[in-house]
Structure 1
C-alpha cells in the first residue's frame, strides 16, 4: 500500500535535438540515489517502459505514466523522476508539447550541442549503421563517412533553432536549465553540480563510471564527404559558423 504522506517525486524532462548526448546525461543522472530518469517516453522501442502499448494513451495519460506511475526502483529512494523527449518525437504528437508545459512543477533540462552540424552528421551515421550507442566493450572502428544535402542541412539547422526558441519561450527561466553537451564532456562534475542544484537534490560527488563512449572523434571535414561543398554553400549565411574548421574554431565531433 502506498504511503499517502510521502509526496510524489518531483518531475523533470530532458529536451534536446537528436544526438546531443542525452543517453550519456541520463547515465550520469541515474547514478544519483534520489534521481530516476527513464529514457525516451515517446520512443516505441525504448525498453525502460514496461507498458508496450503506452503510446496508444492520450498525452495526459502518458505524462501521468511518466510522473505518477513511473517504473519502480526498489534500490533507490526516488525524489525526482524524469524522462526525455527528442524534438522529432513531438511531430507525431503535436499536442504533447503543450501538455508538457502544463504539467505542474515541471523542471526542464535543455541539452544543446554547440555545432548543430555535428548533431545532424551523427544522426545520419546512426541511421546508416543502426548503431545508436557505443559501449566500452564495442570495437573501435569509426563510423563511415556520410554525404549531406544542402536542403537537409538547412531544414535541420532551422528545426534546431526553432525548437530551442520554442523551449525558451514556453518555460520560465527559473524552471529551465540549459546544458551544453560539449561542456558536459569537458566538465562533467561542474555540469552535474548545476543540475543537482537546479533539481534541488543533495550534491553528489562525481565519479566517472559511465559505460557509454564517443562514437566519432574525427573532425567534421573527415566525416562528411561533401563538407567543403557544404561550407561554400553556407559561407555567407547564419550557419557559416558550423563549418569553421580553422585552428581556433575547429570542432571535434563528439557523440
Structure 2
C-alpha cells in the first residue's frame, strides 16, 4: 500500500514549491490542489467540469481516498502518493475527514514572514501568475494601505498558529517545514525520511522563488510600510527573506 500524505498550508506559503520538490523523487507523486474551489488541480491537469466538481464536493472523503490510492495514475514504482490541502478548502476535510484518517501523513509548510506571504498574494492578483519557473521578470510592486497590510499579516499569523495546533492534536504523523527550509541543504533527506523512502540525493523542483527577495522592495509605498511594521515590532520582515 502506498504511503499517503497531504501538504497542509496557507496560500502563498511555499506549498507548490514543496510539491515540485516531492515530484522530483521518482517514487513520490504529489497530485496538487485537488479541492480548489473552482477546479480540480491534479498536478497541473486542471479540471473545471461542473459535474465533476459537484461530484467531488458531494463526497469529499471518497474523492480524497480514491485520489490518494492512485486513481487515474500509473502507480508502478510509486511508494507515496499525496496532495495539497489549503486552509480555505472544504472545511469537512478539517472537521471530519482527516481526523478519521490517522494513517495520512501531514506536512505542514509555514511561512514565518507574513508580510512576504501577504505581498506575494497581492502581486499574484496583479499578474495572474501563480508560479515562476524562470524567464519572468520581477512582479509589479504593490501599494496597500499599511494598516490593512498589518491586519492581514496578523490574520495570517493567527490562522497559521491555529492550524499548527490543530495538526499537533491529530494522531497523524506530521512534519513541520518552514518556507526557508525548502531552499536549504538537507530538505530532501528530511522529506524522504519522514515518508519512509530512500534518499535519492538533492531534489530539484522546476520552480523558483517568486517576487523580490528584499520584501520592502515589493512596495510602491515603502516609507509608510516600514514605519507601520517597525512600530509593530516587525521590522525584521522588511529585509531579505532568504540568505
What TM-score do you get using the length of structure 1 for normalisation?
A: 0.79
- Match of residue 123 from structure 1: 121
Structure 2: which 5+ runs fail to align?
none
Residues 1:181 and 2:160 aligned together: no
Given that 2:7 and 2:109 are in contact with CA atoms closer than 8 Å, whether structure 1 keeps it comes out as: yes
CA drift of 1:166 comes to 2.8
SS at match of 1:61: helix
Give distance in 2, aligned partners of 1:218 and 1:79: 35
- Match of residue 195 from structure 1: 191
SS at match of 2:91: coil
Give distance in 2, aligned partners of 1:110 and 1:14: 6
Given that 1:17 and 1:87 are in contact with CA atoms closer than 8 Å, whether structure 2 keeps it comes out as: yes
CA drift of 1:174 comes to 7.0
- Match of residue 169 from structure 1: 166
Residues 145-186 of structure 1 show CA distances to partners (whole Å, capped at 9, x for unaligned) of 112232353134323323333333334587111111212213
SS at match of 2:200: coil
RMSD: 2.6
CA drift of 1:88 comes to 2.4
User: Could you tell which deviates more after superposition, 20-29 or 143-152?
Assistant: 143-152
Q: Aligned runs of 1:61-100 on 2, under 5 Å?
A: 61-73=62-74, 76-89=76-89, 93-98=90-95, 99-100=97-98
Residues 1:232 and 2:233 aligned together: no
Give distance in 2, aligned partners of 1:29 and 1:205: 12
Of 105, 108, 111, 1:107 maps to: 105
Cα distance, 1:152–1:88 mapped onto 2, change above 3 Å: farther
Given that 2:7 and 2:85 are in contact with CA atoms closer than 8 Å, whether structure 1 keeps it comes out as: yes
Point out which structure has higher relative CO (alpha carbons under 8 A, 6+ apart): 2
What TM-score do you get using the length of structure 2 for normalisation?
A: 0.83
Given that 1:145 and 1:223 are in contact with CA atoms closer than 8 Å, whether structure 2 keeps it comes out as: yes
- Match of residue 4 from structure 1: none
Give distance in 1, aligned partners of 2:57 and 2:207: 31
- Match of residue 216 from structure 2: 221
Give distance in 1, aligned partners of 2:140 and 2:242: 13
Runs ≥4 in structure 1, deviation > 4 angstroms? 49-52
- Match of residue 32 from structure 2: 39
SS at match of 1:95: helix
CA drift of 1:203 comes to 1.6
Give distance in 1, aligned partners of 2:209 and 2:131: 9
CA drift of 1:236 comes to 4.4
Given that 1:193 and 1:203 are in contact with CA atoms closer than 8 Å, whether structure 2 keeps it comes out as: yes
Give distance in 1, aligned partners of 2:143 and 2:156: 19
CA drift of 1:26 comes to 1.2
Give distance in 2, aligned partners of 1:17 and 1:56: 20
User: Could you tell which deviates more after superposition, 119-128 or 219-228?
Assistant: 219-228
Residues 193-251 of structure 1 show CA distances to partners (whole Å, capped at 9, x for unaligned) of 1111111111221153x3212222341222122343234334444xx32x326xxx833
